[in-house]
Structure 1
Amino acid sequence: MTAQHEVFSGSTLKTPVSMLGEGPTYDPQTETAWWFDIVGRKLFEYALEAETFKIHDLPEMGSVLARIDDERQIVATETGLHLRQRASGKLDLITPIEADNPLTRSNDGRVHPCGALWIGTMGKNAEAKAGAIYHVARGVVSRLYPDITIPNSICFSPDGTVAYFADTDAAQLMRVEIDPATALPVGEPAVFYEHRGKGGLDGSICDAEGTIWNARWGAGCIDAYSPEGKRIISLEVPASQTTCPAFVGETANRLLVTSARENLSAEQLDQDPNAGSTFLLGHPVKGRFEPDYSL
């Protein structure tokens, strides 16, 4: 069965473009969306209802943010997990991850309902098998999967018993059973979806019904996959290098999508004028809010 295709409906946020927009998330307590420009070393803060934003400069490349409580956040960077004071923006390294390796940085990551974090690392120039995927629980770091080139698509099923992830370079979305109390694997990963065709698997989120929404880098779309591994719909996004979606809004019923302009030539940018923009899609979804990270 051919997946349904839906043309773009929604809006482009009136925020500066990112060289490599990534890691969007949403804090329903403050109705605020957050995302990164990894290469630009910036953190975006966007008030969804007021449509206002702030841009915070970072001392190094960051890619993942999660709420801890009303006053604190966790930020994953090229040296590990930093405690961020929301009021001041002050960062303190509390959990080093590959901090002694200047060739790698953090990439995709997500918090499990139990409060543990899965976080991926990769070479700063996407060197083959330079990265890994880690499990972090209350500061304890465990390496789950080594030899990863571009870690992406980390997300969890609604009941917390399944984790998904991808190495974009391998073009396979993987599925593995995990302990819902710890987010640690209890089985071996298996191929959930073998990608063929245009673009590559980038960031993903899993909704309240177990549908996986994946940004397809190089194809300008968000694809939805059923829990059985079937692509069921593709939502058009007006930027070719889509990177990651997030559920936003009062009921988590909308998709915010980041994109990138990295490595596009002047000629390609002429054909892709929205590259690096952030979008709100019009297609309704049954999303979930991200859980807090447990220190």
Structure 2
Amino acid sequence: MTDVVVARRCVVGEGPLWSVRDGLLYWLDIPEQRLRWLDPATGATEGRSLPDVVGSIGLRATGGLVAATRNGFAALQPATGELSYLHDPEPDRPEHYFNDGKVDPAGRFWAGTLNDGPPTATGTLWRLDADHGCHPMRRGVICPNGLGWSPDARTMYFTDSRRYTIFAFDFDAESGRIGNARVFASVTPPADPDGLCVDSEGCVYSAQWGGAQVVRYDPAGRVVGTIPVPTRLATSVALGGPDLRTLFITTASIGLDAAQLAADPAAGTVLAVTVDTPGVPEPMFAG
């Protein structure tokens, strides 16, 4: 059973990220341009306003966070909310913005862009290296979402929500190359696969926007469990806590009027449930 661990609502809560280094859960309220964090040991929460729309974050080895923003990749200092821009790979595409992203096992940060308007296959999945060079890794993306890697770093998962599909790729950790794209799992509308994380057994947890659930897939893409969510718009997931066995679930309240919010008290909150299999520590961006 899921519990509400942060009751203060987000419009679109996204990008949950557990930091072993800090003992904190970070997440975003994207439309509100706000970074938030929770100390589960005390229940205390804090937040900072951000000067740009941030779609995703990752840990940074030199301290703070790395972020994918409306205007490219940036370093983010949680204490102040300050952004220092590193690289904008699409300066000629002002209609594009970054969405979900994650750090790979070798310390590179991956994030995808999408069109700010009617869904079109014009987005790109980008890889930001430690030297701040950017590389387009997959084009023709409609809505880039959940990313993750298998514990052996040989498989990468990538979600295109508007294709209702989680893809798997062969992954070369040394070079950062991907290949052999294939369908890992398909989701039936009106649910969309959104953010994901991978546990230490190699199973994939996928938040299902519109589906009021989180689905767990085994490494072959078979459904091996579902976690009901007490609100329709689950956005993303992260394994954390002291033993990495707490599944944190972010949610959204966007589009709900006062009566709907009153009837859906979990909308926009952060939820948590204890699971049997722990996660793995999130890698840190090396740049």
> If the length of structure 2 is used for normalisation, what is the TM-score?
0.94
1:179 to 172, 182, 193: 172
- Deviates further, 40-49 or 277-286: 277-286
Match of 2:143 in 1: 150
In 1, Cα distance between the equivalents of 2:266 and 2:78? 30
Aligned-residue offset at 1:233 = 0.6
SS at 1:178's partner residue?
strand
Q: Number of paired residues?
A: 286
Q: Does 1:263 align with 2:255?
A: yes
Q: In structure 2, what residue type is equivalent to 1:143?
A: P
Of 208, 220, 224, 2:216 maps to 224
Match of 1:165 in 2: 158
Conserved 8 A contact 1:119-1:134? yes
How far is 1:72 from its partner? 2.8
* 1:31-75 C-alpha deviation (Å, 9 max, x unpaired): 111000111111102112111111110111112222223633212
Distance 1:218 1:188 in 2: 30
Query: In the alignment, what sits opposite 2:53?
Result: 61
Query: C-alpha separation between the residues in 2 aligned to 1:211 and 1:163?
Result: 12
Q: Does the Cα contact within 8 Å between 2:204 and 2:216 map onto a contact in 1? A: yes
**Whole-angstrom CA distance in 2 between matches of 1:104 and 1:290:** 27
User: What TM-score results when the alignment is normalised by the length of structure 1?
Assistant: 0.91
Percent of counterpart pairs with the same letter?
Answer: 25
Deviations 1:165-224 (A, max 9, x none): 121111111111010213311x23111112225411101111111100000010111100
Partner Cα separation in structure 2 for residue 174 and residue 22 of structure 1: 20
The aligned amino acid for 2:21 is Q
| Displacement of 1:270 | 4.2
Structure 2 counterpart of 1:129, one-letter code: A
Q: Could you tell me whether the CA contact under 8 Å between 2:35 and 2:81 is conserved in 1?
A: no
User: What is the match of residue 270 of structure 2?
Assistant: 278
Whether the aligned pair in 1 keeps the contact of 2:35 and 2:78 (CA below 8 Å) is: no
Alignment partner of 1:49 out of 16, 41, 44? 41
Does structure 1 conserve the Cα–Cα contact (< 8 Å) formed by 2:201 and 2:277? no
Matched, 1:79 2:71: yes
- Residue 181 of structure 1: SS of its match in structure 2? coil
Which structure 2 residue ranges, 5 or more long, are not aligned? none
- The root-mean-square deviation of aligned C-alpha atoms, in Å, is 1.7
Secondary structure at the counterpart of residue 202 of structure 2: coil
